[in-house]
Structure 1
């Protein structure tokens, strides 16, 4: 029986080549889109699950509130004392481990000198939390001694070549030697952290590095990522509900109110961090569950469009198979057998499309990765549950897309069919119209989404940031205070170098520091409720970045007291209640315990990405803050950049021979803040075009079939004097009406969806009416072009031939 069904299915597919081609091609494109998106979704959902303890690992985070209870900062890391104290306070906690980012470091081994990223201080039990395969050394003891280090295989090969790295010593930042005690394989790509080098956490007990007392008492350095190992199926409310009392117990400062009023601890599931955590400080940039939902919806939409094509074309060609169905019924075929026959054809077509889609997916993945930089791999689909799902997908799609045509065609009355008086009911035509409307509604929504994403990206790229980001080079590592002036003077001899400055942070990063502001009314201190961020700068920062003064002056070498004075931005003026920049000049205030005067106000500028509002900002130039000048920024001319970079490198080596020269352009750093939006833009464009193409493919087939059924009508119209434009209009208008209905349905949905998406940006474009008009017009034009080929061909045909066949 099954063999007979398959034989009949193959015959019908071969007999109706045009319709079969459109069905197979449309389903292949739809399934390819699904498989491409599936590789992304599977990768995102698989993050960190390779750890055998993943379900029982939790991270402690810390938030800070204003006096009004509003959270203004939420960090993924906490202060160093919290880890040991939590373990002692709560017996349910099995283990605690900490990870402390060490930033960029300079490593030397013999003559090899490199700047390395991805270095962390890690507790000795780090490997009992996270599954890293140790290639050499004992992971249980490798980090127990201070001044020991474990590194990845690639890093070990980079420094030691074919030598055995164990017990070799490397010099870090030209300050201390670390002994290599272990080599490990790197974390897989689907991990939220990728340390290249793990330094013994016990090293931080040395007063030269951090200090044992600092680890026990420093509540202000919230840079220690702290992880807890809890029992199976543990109710974290048992611990988190006791956090306020825990904070007040250990952060009890005389003369100050309860600290739990201003800061809280929180627990996050480790497996939730990658897709659900978007805190102000993360180990690495995380993904976003909203992107997973968006692209899942796009995959379903595209697949739905392909299924609609199949249903439409199958029901449209029902009259061509009416006699076949009538004869089958006359010789005894039951309705369920006919339904099975048509469903078997549908499933066969879908499985064949899946094979083609898998081939196409493998071919397109490198192209998608080049456009989106997502690093997707077909290996994501090799998991057993995914393979089973993919193999069953054609069966589900075949049944969904084939069930309506099967039921519809199996319901034909054999007497009417064989007498030739079968008419396809109006209900069937109406249903096909609904399906066409659904197709084009989805396509129009995707057109609007793509347009608005592009608008927002262009807005980001062109919006004035309040400073000049062009031709600005930044170098990490800083220059010692005793060398900086000579370094600066040496560089400025080159006319291509315009200005130089130092700062603790640079635009394109996050502003995290808030050291507490106090303003004075005479000698009366008035605490400031607002959160004011700060950066350390030197005399050259404001002119180097081209930031405009709103009132007052910049820091100056002519005023020795400027080391105790402040420059603030316009937002800080407003939250401090000084109304205008001019009113702020000369005001007394204290920040971080340092009292001074406001000497200048700068116009607001975007230090962070446009996702964030401009925050109140204070710039200070304390004489003791040389070690906080972690960045050197250099303004250069736009001509002959390569020559200027060579000059910078030579001068850098002259003054910092032990530190490799590593630079970046500020505008490129700012552009990287919007990588996820760039990826979304590229993928939206690709999948929108494919969705529209599949919809047009179905419309092309449907219009071709519809027109072929009206050949004699067209011939009569031509004989009666109808012109080609009139005939084309007559044949096209019904389909174009459906596109207009689709636009009416789709545009409100598109507006709501994209308005929600734009809310993620503090600074965003407004959605213009013409975007919706353009999307509707584009859909109409595409539909008309699709239909007009068949319409014009039919209108230009010789009516004698069509009427003679009667």
Structure 2
């Protein structure tokens, strides 16, 4: 029976080649898009699940509140004492591990010098919490001793070639200390929220001048340590999370905080599932850029829309050509075929077409996936579809899609009365025609929503690219700054400026594109004395060249100057700070006394407001201070865009002269800002691609339906031409019914699209 159904279905497919081609092609493209989106969604949902203990691993995050109890900052990292204290306070915690990014790390091996960006300090429990595939060395003891490191296989080969790296030494800390290699591991997969390539023993930090053993035990202000907790099987992590306020009030108290103020009123800790970090965490100072669960939902809806449009095409074309198969149905009923058998026949035909489309879709997906990866920057693989969790769904897809696509045509055509069919009295009927119109309106409503959404996304991306940031980010080179350059920086800068292609060089603790996370207590004059105020006033240490390097406009007052020794005790603020401090205007702020941290001085300048952070954050009050000891992390050099090669050549030569043991490495500021919006660019690219495909499938279905309709009206067209109708008149006559449907779709979909884009 099934064999007969399939044979009959194949004959009908080959007999009506044009309609069959459009059906198969539309379903193929729709299924290919679904497979690609499923691959993307599965990749997003799989983050950090390679860890065997991922389901019971949590990250500790920290929230800060204003005096009014409003959340002002939510950090993904916490202070170093919290991890050990949490393990002491809660016996439910099985293991605790801390990770500290080491920033730009210079590695020396013999005469070779490398600059690495994925070095992390990790304590000895790191390999107990995370599933680290160690290929050489003992994972249980590799990070126990200070001045030991573990390397990825790629890093080990990079430094030592094919030689065994175990017990060999590399030099870090500007060649001050040697570290013994105690282990080699395979890198974390792409679907991990961090990708360390060098793991430095956490115990090394106890000898550090910046941290030290006491700082690691008592410093609750340095929130740079990513802290992870592993709970035993069956333990209730939510119970621990509910007691974190009690924990803070018992174990943590800040110097200078009034005794009647609870610590939990000022700051709070939360627990975050490891598997939630990539899609549900958009906190300050994340290790890497994360994805977004909203994007997963959006692309899931797009996949359903695309498949629905392809199914609607099949329904429309199948019911439209029903007259061609009316006699076949009538004869089948006359010879004894029951309605359910005819329904099975048509459903088997739609399932067969869907199976053909699925095979073609898999081939197309495999061929187009490299292009999708190139456009989006992702590393998706078609082999991820072989996972048992989605393989069953893919196998069932032809039956599901075939049933959805074929059920209405099967029910509609199997209802034909044989007597009326064989007498030629059957018509498609107003009901069938009306339902086809509803389907056309539905698919074009979806298409118009996608067109509007694509337009809005594109305009948003254009806005991001063209929005004035309040400073000039073009042709600014950024490099890490090394304190060993402090004694000779003026000579270094003078050497650079001898080249006319180099305009300015300035140092700072942070550079635009990064988050403003540093703040201290402030005091301003109220009456005759300085009164402390609790304000969200962030600061950046900057030297004389920082403002001119970025072309930041001074609205009132002046920049820091070498002519004024007292400037190390003075401040420059932005307009947002002026408003927050309650001063009338920029000019009124000049000369005001204030204290920030332990520095007492005057406001000597007011900058225009500019976007130090990304456009996702509003402009916040900012203060620049000139440190007496030269505390800087970044070097910014403004160059002439017309003489880029000359400028970079001079910078590199001068760099190697003053810092011979440090590799020359730089980035452009405009590239840094582009990276801030990689997520939006990715979403925009993928959204546009899939939306255009959905629109194409809808137009393809309308083309097939109109072509079939025209083929049934050849005689009418001939009569009209004989009677003198022009080509434009005939085209208008044939198109007006479809144009009306598209107009109705626009009236329905435009308000929906506007609302969807507003809430998104």
Which residue does 1:407 correspond to in 2?
411
Distance 1:654 1:33 in 2: 55
Distance 1:478 1:164 in 2: 32
Equivalent position SS for 1:337: helix
Which residue does 1:248 correspond to in 2?
249
Worse-superposed segment, 363-372 or 344-353: 363-372
Which residue does 2:143 correspond to in 1?
143
Distance 1:88 1:552 in 2: 53
Distance 1:523 1:735 in 2: 79
Distance 1:518 1:274 in 2: 40
Q: Which deviations, in whole Å up to 9, do the C-alpha atoms of 1:534-589 show, x marking residues without a partner?
A: 10000111111110011111111111111111100000111111131111111111
Picking from 660, 663, 668, the partner of 1:657 is: 660
Distance 2:645 2:117 in 1: 25
Q: Which deviations, in whole Å up to 9, do the C-alpha atoms of 1:733-776 show, x marking residues without a partner?
A: 0000111111111111211222233xxxxxxxxxxxxxxxxxxx
Picking from 559, 564, 567, the partner of 1:559 is: 564
Which residue does 1:87 correspond to in 2?
87
Distance 1:291 1:513 in 2: 31
Stretches of structure 2 that go unaligned for 5 or more consecutive residues are none
Distance 1:141 1:192 in 2: 24
Distance 1:252 1:459 in 2: 45
Root mean square deviation of aligned Cα: 1.2
Q: Which deviations, in whole Å up to 9, do the C-alpha atoms of 1:577-609 show, x marking residues without a partner?
A: 113111111111111222211111000011011
Which residue does 2:213 correspond to in 1?
212
Which residue does 2:687 correspond to in 1?
684
Contact 2:578 2:589 in 1 (8 A): yes
Picking from 593, 596, 599, the partner of 2:601 is: 596
| Aligned counterparts, 1:765-804, within 5 A | none
Change (3 A) 1:502 1:577: same
| Aligned counterparts, 1:264-283, within 5 A | 264-283=268-287
Picking from 610, 622, 627, the partner of 1:617 is: 622
Distance 2:145 2:93 in 1: 24
Distance 2:255 2:717 in 1: 95
Contact 1:203 1:209 in 2 (8 A): no
Distance 2:334 2:372 in 1: 53
Query: How many equivalent residue pairs?
Result: 755
Displacement of 1:241? 2.4
Which residue does 1:229 correspond to in 2?
230
Equivalent position SS for 1:640: helix
Displacement of 1:463? 1.5
Worse-superposed segment, 703-712 or 388-397: 703-712
1:579 equivalent to 2:580? Answer no
Equivalent position SS for 2:641: coil
1:457 equivalent to 2:461? Answer yes
Contact 1:149 1:197 in 2 (8 A): yes
Stretches of structure 1 that go unaligned for 5 or more consecutive residues are 758-806
- TM-score normalized with structure 1 length: 0.92
Displacement of 1:719? 3.0
| Aligned counterparts, 1:250-329, within 5 A | 250-253=251-254, 255-256=256-257, 257-329=261-333
Q: Which deviations, in whole Å up to 9, do the C-alpha atoms of 1:396-443 show, x marking residues without a partner?
A: 000011000001100110110111100111111111111111111111
Displacement of 1:523? 4.5
Displacement of 1:671? 1.2
Picking from 740, 752, 762, the partner of 2:755 is: 752
Which residue does 2:521 correspond to in 1?
516
Which residue does 1:541 correspond to in 2?
546
Displacement of 1:351? 0.5
Equivalent position SS for 2:341: helix
Which residue does 1:183 correspond to in 2?
184
Distance 2:759 2:674 in 1: 23
Distance 2:491 2:84 in 1: 46
| Aligned counterparts, 1:379-528, within 5 A | 379-478=383-482, 480-528=485-533
Change (3 A) 1:374 1:545: same
Contact 1:478 1:502 in 2 (8 A): no
| Aligned counterparts, 1:587-736, within 5 A | 587-624=592-629, 626=630, 628-736=631-739
Worse-superposed segment, 413-422 or 201-210: 201-210
Distance 1:159 1:193 in 2: 22
Distance 1:694 1:594 in 2: 66
Distance 2:206 2:646 in 1: 45
Contact 1:570 1:581 in 2 (8 A): yes
Equivalent position SS for 1:639: helix
- TM-score normalized with structure 2 length: 0.98
Distance 1:527 1:295 in 2: 50
Distance 1:722 1:183 in 2: 82
Displacement of 1:175? 2.0
Distance 1:465 1:707 in 2: 56
Change (3 A) 1:233 1:403: farther
Displacement of 1:643? 2.3
Distance 1:700 1:454 in 2: 27
Distance 2:475 2:252 in 1: 47
Worse-superposed segment, 250-259 or 642-651: 250-259
Q: Which deviations, in whole Å up to 9, do the C-alpha atoms of 1:660-679 show, x marking residues without a partner?
A: 00011111111111111111
